[in-house]
Structure 1
Amino acid sequence: MATLTELTSAQHKDLHIVPDAVMQQISKQHMMNVHATEIANAATCFPVFISRNSINGRLSISALTNLVAGHNLYVSNGHWDPVFRPIGLQTLPLYLMQRPEDPNQFTVGFDSSSECFATSGGEPLFTEDGKATSLLMEKSKLLESELNMVRQTHGFLQAMEKHNLLKSVDLQVKYDNERVNVIQGLYTINEDQLQTMNTEQFEELRKAGYLMPIHALLMSLYQVNVLVNRFNAHSLTEKISEVKIEVSKNLTNN
């Protein structure tokens, strides 16, 4: 993610959001961040995986919207197709960010270099007297609720690591011209480990409310077939003939 700037009425009174540019940004996202509490809903539309940031090592949860980078198969004719919209899409192009003067506090941030913003046209974020518009208030409220979701997601991912429930997988994507592309760096739930957990460990997950997102992650893998169908319906050149989900050849799953 680009460096974020704290949004203030004093410095950004004339800032407007450009809706078409926001949708254009979404249309290029082949992976979308989702939170643990969103997994069950996301699993009805997308395959959902866990991945690890190569820079800071942090885990995150993502819905896969394409098997090819740079294009979202769930955006058509400038519109978002599924009924479910992750909160991260609803708040775009605004984000949660840590306050520069106090990292323990969060505020509204934005990417000042993004084409999603302009000083005229589009939808204003502030009124002429510097007060938040209804659009900004709505997005700020969503970002406030997202903060709690971030904390819940952190707890969920910590529990997955603690109980060794993460399994590194590769997606072997085979095309009708025999070309094969391997998508790496993804994790799903280790079913074998889940089945061998003792009663105390299983009860810990149940009390924390983690059983539903765990099973939803596993069930979401069937949505890979939906991605294949969407890709083949859009592609004018090569078609996907098969996708295999295999245990990563990398011996380290953590």
Structure 2
Amino acid sequence: HGRQAHRQGAGQRARAARIRRRGDAGVSVASALFRAPEPLDPASHAALRIAPLRDFGIAARLHAVFVAATEIPEAAPEDPIGFVPSGGHGAAGAPVVSPVALLGLVPGENLFVQGGRWQARYVPAFVRRYPFVSGRRGPMIDMAWSGLSPIDGEPLFDEAGRPTPTLAAALDFLARFDAEALRTRGFTARLAALELLQPLQADATLPDGTTLTVEGFRVVDEDRLRALPDAEVLELHRSGMLMLVHLHRASLARMRHLVELKALREHERRTGEPHGPTG
């Protein structure tokens, strides 16, 4: 079942984004969120109850997550947004890519999660849908989550085996997430077809002299964007894609914020003195 959840394509994976220390081998990003997903079943899960998702420690090891195109306006002011290959090729032969929000500079570290709290205004829908995920045969639930219990929380099913309002709302959110992930492919396919995406490698130096390299991401190349024919630019503008492109480009300045957060976290580890998040 874990492999089923891993093969959900653009909505589940950010496989090509790699972050490494200078001189180290790159580490692929994969979902560290779902540990024991199994098909949601009214018979197997009749007695199961669910608590609200308030402890984001489950996402503490995610340093990049998928974001749908509709999330970019909310995610871009806080997170660098890039594009990563998500497997396969589109109709025009261009690689299929997915937008991701970068949350950390070291594999397995989400700089926005501390003490179970998400210390930023926007939490990506990829995380908010937890513990549910779509499998090949329908919704799945991560049985490894501590928020599931036969005692505490809201029931998933009523006595007749029908979804309760709590579960129905969660499944509706999951369906909308999947629909937006599918629509996002149209946005990224257009960027790929126009050959706007170019590889990015960014080096970041921490106060202690440690150099980190971010690679594997693709970004919209400004020169190629400016060179587009007027008709193509007008099409991107009227479709709303041009706004998303500019938000993506502006978000790259947030790399500096990640470096500042990383420096603060390293200081906290060395001294044991907590610091609040930077803006």
Question: What's the offset of the Cα at 1:138?
Answer: 1.6
Task: Report the TM-score when normalising by structure 1.
Answer: 0.80
Q: Which residue in the other structure is 1:140 paired with?
A: 171
CA distance in 2, matches of 1:176, 1:227: 13
Query: Over aligned residues, Cα RMSD in angstroms?
Result: 2.5
Report the alpha carbon displacement of residue 10 of structure 1 after superposing the two structures with TM. 2.5
- Give CA deviations for 1:70-128 in whole Å, capped at 9, x if unaligned: 121111221122222222222111113333xxxxxxx322345x345645345342234
- Matched with 2:65 is 32
| Matched residue count | 230
Q: Partners of 1:121 and 1:74 in 2: how far apart?
A: 31
Measured at CA, do residues 135 and 80 of structure 1 come closer, stay the same or move farther in structure 2, by a change above 3 Å? farther
After superposition, the Cα gap between the structure-2 partners of 1:145 and 1:206, relative to the gap in structure 1 and judged at 3 Å, is same
Structure 1 CA distance for aligned equivalents of residues 96 and 195 of structure 2 = 16
1:182 counterpart SS class: strand
Aligned to 1:215, which of 246, 257, 279? 246
1:169 to 2:200 alignment: yes
Contact 2:105 2:212 in 1 (8 A): no
Show the counterpart of 2:232.
201
What residue identity is the alignment partner of 1:43?
A
The residue type paired with residue 217 of structure 2 is L
Q: Is 1:9 aligned with 2:42?
A: yes
Structure 2 residue 210 is matched with structure 1 residue 179: yes
Gaps of 5+ in 1: 100-106, 239-254
Shift in CA distance, 206/174, structure 1 to aligned 2, threshold 3 Å = same
Q: CA deviation at 1:69?
A: 1.3
> Do structure 1's residue 89 and structure 2's residue 165 form an aligned pair?
no
Q: Percent identity?
A: 25
Indicate the residue corresponding to 2:266 in structure 1: 235
C-alpha contact (below 8 Å) 1:17/1:118 kept by paired residues = yes
Q: Does structure 2 conserve the Cα–Cα contact (< 8 Å) formed by 1:174 and 1:181?
A: yes
Mapped partners of 2:3, 2:147: distance in 1: 14
Change beyond 3 A, Cα 1:201–1:59: same
Check conservation: 2:85, 2:96, Cα contact below 8 A: yes
For structure 1, which segment, 34-43 or 8-17, has the greater mean C-alpha deviation from structure 2 after superposition? Answer: 8-17
TM-score (normalizing by structure 2): 0.73
CA 121–86 in structure 1, closer or farther in 2 if over 3 Å, else same: same
Among residues 81, 85, 88, which one is paired with 1:48 in the alignment? Answer: 81
Name the structure 1 match of 2:28: none
Mean Cα deviation higher: 47-56 or 75-84? 47-56
1:159-205 CA distances to partner (integer Å, 9 max, x unpaired)?
Answer: 01000110100121223444333222101111110000001211221
Give 5+ residue unaligned stretches, structure 2. Answer: 6-37, 90-94, 271-279
Structure 1 segment 149-164 matched on structure 2, within 5 A: 149-164=180-195
- Inter-partner Cα distance in structure 1 for 2:139 and 2:231: 41
Q: Give, in angstroms, the shift of residue 68 of structure 1.
A: 1.0
8 Å CA contact 2:87–2:97 kept in 1: the answer is no
Greater share of residues in strand: 1
Per-residue CA distance 1:16-60 (angstroms, 9 max, x = gap):
446679622211111121001111110111111111136886421
2:98 match:
60
Deviations 1:135-170 (A, max 9, x none): 312211111222321122100010010001101001
Quote how far apart the aligned CAs of 1:234 are. Answer: 1.3
Paired with 2:88 and 2:187, the residues of 1 have a C-alpha distance of 21
